[in-house]
A and B are shown apart, each in its own frame.
Chain A
Amino acid sequence: DVVMTQSPLSLPVTLGQPASISCRSSQSLVHSDGNTYLSWFQQRPGQSPRRLIYKVSNRDSGVPDRFSGSESGTDFTLKISRVEAEDVGVYYCMQGTHWPRTFGQGTKVEIK
């Protein structure tokens, strides 16, 4: 199975400041169709996960543009340009290229 490793696991941030979460995959996520299926999910306290980003850098409908995704080989990054109070929660990366689908351990974002 593909192992997804996130860092950091805990991220205290100041309101209005940027934040960055890393995710590394144990193998290439480039699908045979040429796409890279790496998604990011946000799970606010007490809520279901919500997909923010798909195929590395595409924002889902309704996701604020302060969220962005990027890649460098098997390293992927989720960036929040200016953290707001509603961004508190746990963020997960997930690879959608190989079966079984696998998630990172999660990164807990909290306000300092």
Chain B
Amino acid sequence: EVQLVETGGGLIQPGGSLRLSCAASGFTVSSDYMSWVRQAPGKGLEWISVVYSGGSTYHVDSVKGRFTISRDTSKNMLYLQMNSLRAEDTAVYYCAKGGMDVWGKGTTVTVSS
């Protein structure tokens, strides 16, 4: 069964850093592009980052320079390193496979003092 499980969320102060992880099973993370999508409380979906099967990455402007997506094919894991966190980064963060046919349950990040 193809599955994604996100971990690493929590309460963090503004300006802090956090690394989210996404464990994949049933497929290899390098076989398709992998994305992070977030959803602020009561709001819609916002795609933020992708790592292509070839390894190159792309980030939306609102997180560019602060967030970094990466993967570890030996562990079959996807990551999102988040630095210089702001209150507006508060959201549930989902990882998703390829054309978003598979999503994890999400992990909650709260940025607050």
A residues lining the B interface (CB < 8 Å): 37, 39, 41, 43, 48-51, 54, 60, 90, 92, 94, 96, 99-106
Chain A residue, CB-CB nearest to B49: A100
Contact of B103 with A92 in the complex, beta carbons under 8 Å: no
Contact of B58 with A99 in the complex, beta carbons under 8 Å: yes
CB distance from A80 to the nearest CB of B (A): 20
> Which residues does chain B contribute within 8 Å of A101, judged by CB atoms?
35, 47, 50
CB distance from A87 to the nearest CB of B (A): 18
Chain B residue, CB-CB nearest to A61: B101
Q: Is the interface of B mostly helix, strand, loop or mixed?
A: strand
> Which residues does chain B contribute within 8 Å of A106, judged by CB atoms?
44-45
* C-alpha spacing A48/B106, complex, angstroms: 7
Contact of B99 with A37 in the complex, beta carbons under 8 Å: yes
Interface size on B, residues (CB 8 A): 18
10 additional contacts (CB under 8 A) given A99-B50, A103-B44: A41-B45, A48-B104, A49-B45, A54-B99, A54-B101, A90-B44, A100-B48, A101-B35, A101-B47, A105-B44
> Which residues does chain B contribute within 8 Å of A37, judged by CB atoms?
99
* C-alpha spacing A105/B94, complex, angstroms: 17
* C-alpha spacing A92/B94, complex, angstroms: 15
A48 in contact with B44 given A37-B99, A60-B101, A99-B58 (CB within 8 Å):
no
A50 in contact with B45 given A100-B58, A100-B60 (CB within 8 Å):
no
CB distance from A53 to the nearest CB of B (A): 11
Q: Which of B45, B94, B103 has the most CB of A within 10 A?
A: B45
Q: Which of A49, A90, A102 has the most CB of B within 10 A?
A: A49
> Which residues does chain A contribute within 8 Å of B60, judged by CB atoms?
100
Contact of A39 with B50 in the complex, beta carbons under 8 Å: no
- Which single member of A49, A90, A103, A104 contacts B94 (CB below 8 Å)? A49
Contact of A103 with B46 in the complex, beta carbons under 8 Å: yes
Contact of B94 with A48 in the complex, beta carbons under 8 Å: yes
* C-alpha spacing A103/B38, complex, angstroms: 11
CB distance from B59 to the nearest CB of A (A): 8
